[in-house]
Structure 1
Amino acid sequence: MKITRQLRLDALAADGTAPIQLTITWEGNRLRVGTGAVVRPEHWDEKAQEVKVLKGTPHDSINPRLNRATEAAGEAQTKATKQGRRLPKEELKAAVEAALTLAPVAEAAPAPAEATGFDALFRRWIPEHSRRPRAGTGRPLTPTAVAGLEATRARLAQYAQARGIALRPETMDLTFYQDFRVYATEELEQSVNTFGKHIDRLKSFLAWYEDELDLPAHRHYRKFVAPRQRGRVDALTEDELRRMAALDFRDADTRTRLLELRGQVRAQTNRREEWSAERWMEHVELARDKFLECCFTGLRISDANRAAWKHVHGQMLVLEGTAKTGVTVYIPFYDDDLFKPVALANRYEHRSPNDLLVPECYRANEFLRLVQQLAGVSRLKLTTKIGRKTFVTLKLYQGVAARLVMQATGHQTEEAFNHYVGIDELRLLEEFMRKSARRRAA
């Protein structure tokens, strides 16, 4: 699903304001919805697709309304996907319009900390923290990062409710830290990395509490450790990637096998697909191609779903404002013996909505389970995220310097980048043996 916001300058009113419109594309459909909000053109940020956060603009009432509508559309799509059905246009429109008709959300007015609960303060901090320009990009937090802040706020509120306590910054000592760790990692069985992210965000909040509100937080919070645990990274080997790319969906044996798998899925899930067998097989092929796009470019699926020919400049794919970090990525766009992004995109040129390199794929991860069976890949569970990890791992094995791969993936630190590096054990062994043989010969 792709959601964009436009200021309709063609409908400029006599008072100098223009209406804001939402355009939503999903599963080959398009829906335009008027938001009921208007703004002056000079107050509209075309790049960020929101009202400029400046004194005198109605950003505090309009932007939250636009965000609610975006979230409502995403939730409607997620609900339909979980139920194994396509999202009807009428249902999506109703969900978006319901979100738009809610009363506008204004920023909380500053209040003394003594009269404001911890959760309310955290809610107040989120928009302030989100608008601050990030180091390196100069841009505010992405919607994905803001959602992470909200997740931490909700987790802390659940912890306080479970323990029957009121959270207060001045009492958040090492005892609190240890108990919150037990709650998150042992009682809720969340990963160590998820707990670490909560701690990072909490420390940022407590620093704001001290510095901006000039109120005391417990000094122990500076000792809170945000742990990170690196497990084995799954990525396709070169041979597996070649097998995946070599699948011929026009081949009679492949089609027969695919129809058999379709029957097995229907028997196991008791789901009746609304698509014909032919269209269903075309969608399995699209899932394979969407996965290959992630393998060949290193893009996250959210960014792959908006990568279009307009972003191609010669032999370089340049995508600004990536979904998670907001950085610009520079991806090689040429074919070699293994990575073939150009040939892949050429198959869909002039056939893809919005001129995307590869069309958006509905239920991609679900269909990838069938693709991996066709390709004989059984050692891992195939998801679009494996595509990004495969790009990183195999580019390094090709001999590309890590700092150059990071420019393509948008990673800003080596620590974050290393979490995406997988191991081709056979290739690793061959390299060690080859270098050892060379030393003996010398």
Structure 2
Amino acid sequence: MKTSQSFRVHFVVRAYKAKNGKAPLYAAVTVNREKCLIGLKESVPIEMWDVDKGYPKGTRDQVKKLSTFLEEVRLKLGNCYKELQLKGKFIDTKSIKSLFLGEKEEAFTLNSLMSYHNETATSDLKWSTLKHYFVTQRYLKKFIEEHYKATDIYLRELNYKFVKDFEVFLRNHKPKDHQKPLNNNGVMKHIIRLKKMTNLALNLHWIDADPFATYKLKIQKVNREQLSEVELKAIEEKKFGIERLEMVRDMFVFCCYTGLSYVDVSNLEPEHIVMGADGDRWIRTCREKTLIPVIVPLLPKALAILDKYKDNERALYDGRVFPKISNQKVNSYLKEIADRCDIIKNVTFHIARHTFATTVTLSNGVPIETVSKILGHTKITTTQIYAKVVERKLKEDMKMLQSKLS
């Protein structure tokens, strides 16, 4: 870390604090125009002090003794500055004063950093995002317990080796609460959260060196799943005869035709359904994750599902469009739905959003800019991750090209 470029020590007395003709003596330390006063626990007769020179005047033995003391103070403060410089510490007047007075350096720990982050992030992050930091915190605690046989670690001990060892720990860890170990991108998510916290420590001057300075994240591109037109139709037309499956299917299909996420459709209220200038019904809401406004035209199949639930007692009781159900249950029921429809894909609720981006919109010629706006993305590149060119659209485009060439 870059150290300060200017350092100066001079001495002053505070005449307004004088008692019996003697004023208290201070060392004034300046670092890059920042100044602090250090009380030297000495007093000097006011008539003996040269205010302009900042030094005692006269030739008496008392003056010589005081001059020697001041030079010793100046030397000690200079040594404090050099010591901090040699250790690569952040140098300011506070750190010099603490070292000069023999105060213990505040030792920040990883637990204190994570607690500070989680307390201060509540205003910036939604709980759905913040809760993942608590998961990372639990993994870090387990890692420190196994690797260091301790419950905490000082931030100054964080380095490249710590980050690399934590990565290895995550890759080899076998969770007890679910069967599968973390995949590569799951590991990288925890590493990214740790990196965000160490960046916070750097900004707070709690650490001087970046543990991630030479570390390279290894994110693998994921082939995002979506339902084909045939698979979506199979789910739409399937008769389940079980209320819970029918309801989850309806919510899922509704999102396949609107692009809403699970949390957004769960929070959807009747007042979010508005009449557009064209006389048709639209959804006007904000994404829970990013608070970005979203305006979605309601397609006929989405409207049919909306009308089906307009008098649902459970939904009306909660002031929502659909009855409340947890994400965990939704994904569990979707696996049952996929099995009954002979779909071998791992169907989760988020696949509805992918299906809207690909099968429902882009494959039918909707411009990617429009899809991006409906999905609530701020960048087209984000939409491109969701939206693959599916096989049917590819064939149609090639047939169009063939007809033009012939």
Query: Which letter does structure 2 place at the counterpart of 1:155?
Result: Y
2:139 to 151, 155, 166: 155
Q: CA deviation at 1:416?
A: 4.3
Query: 2-side partners of 1:186 and 1:414: how far apart?
Result: 36
Query: 1-side partners of 2:186 and 2:333: how far apart?
Result: 28
Partner of 1:68: none
Unaligned runs of 5+ in 2: 1-103, 175-180, 276-280
Query: Which letter does structure 1 place at the counterpart of 2:402?
Result: A
1:323 aligned onto 2:284: no
Q: CA deviation at 1:435?
A: 4.1
1:143 aligned onto 2:127: yes
Distance 1:144 1:226, change over 3 A: farther
2:265 to 289, 300, 304: 304
Partner of 1:372: 338
Query: 1-side partners of 2:390 and 2:166: how far apart?
Result: 37
Distance 1:415 1:169, change over 3 A: farther
Q: CA deviation at 1:361?
A: 4.5
Distance 1:433 1:397, change over 3 A: same
Unaligned runs of 5+ in 1: 1-111, 132-139, 250-257, 259-279
Q: CA deviation at 1:128?
A: 1.6
CA deviation map 1:237-280 (0-9, x unaligned): 12221232223x3xxxxxxxx5xxxxxxxxxxxxxxxxxxxxx6
Taking structure 1 as the reference length, the TM-score comes to 0.58
What is the identity percentage for the equivalent residue pairs of Structure 1 and Structure 2? 22
1:357 to 300, 321, 338: 321
2:188–2:218 contact (8 Å) kept in structure 1: yes
Query: 1-side partners of 2:201 and 2:325: how far apart?
Result: 43
More deviation, 405-414/145-154: 405-414
CA deviation map 1:369-404 (0-9, x unaligned): 34334434x231322222121111122222223333
Query: 1-side partners of 2:325 and 2:125: how far apart?
Result: 27
Query: Which letter does structure 1 place at the counterpart of 2:121?
Result: H
2:158 to 147, 172, 176: 172
1:332 aligned onto 2:301: no
Q: CA deviation at 1:364?
A: 2.9
Query: 1-side partners of 2:399 and 2:167: how far apart?
Result: 46
1:237–1:390 contact (8 Å) kept in structure 2: yes
1:298–1:388 contact (8 Å) kept in structure 2: yes
Distance 1:406 1:224, change over 3 A: farther
Distance 1:227 1:242, change over 3 A: same
Query: Which letter does structure 2 place at the counterpart of 1:245?
Result: E
Query: 1-side partners of 2:246 and 2:210: how far apart?
Result: 56
Query: 1-side partners of 2:144 and 2:385: how far apart?
Result: 32
1:293–1:358 contact (8 Å) kept in structure 2: no
2:309 to 348, 352, 356: 348
Partner of 1:226: 217
Query: 2-side partners of 1:430 and 1:227: how far apart?
Result: 34
Q: Secondary structure at the match of 2:219?
A: coil
1:312–1:333 contact (8 Å) kept in structure 2: no
Q: Secondary structure at the match of 1:384?
A: coil
Partner of 1:424: 390
1:203 aligned onto 2:195: yes
Q: CA deviation at 1:432?
A: 5.0
2:160–2:212 contact (8 Å) kept in structure 1: yes
Q: CA deviation at 1:440?
A: 3.2
For the aligned residue pairs, the C-alpha RMSD in angstroms reads 2.7
Query: 2-side partners of 1:145 and 1:356: how far apart?
Result: 23
* Count of aligned positions: 284
Partner of 1:401: 367
Query: 2-side partners of 1:216 and 1:366: how far apart?
Result: 44
Taking structure 2 as the reference length, the TM-score comes to 0.62
Query: 2-side partners of 1:144 and 1:224: how far apart?
Result: 28
Partner of 1:29: none
1:142–1:326 contact (8 Å) kept in structure 2: no
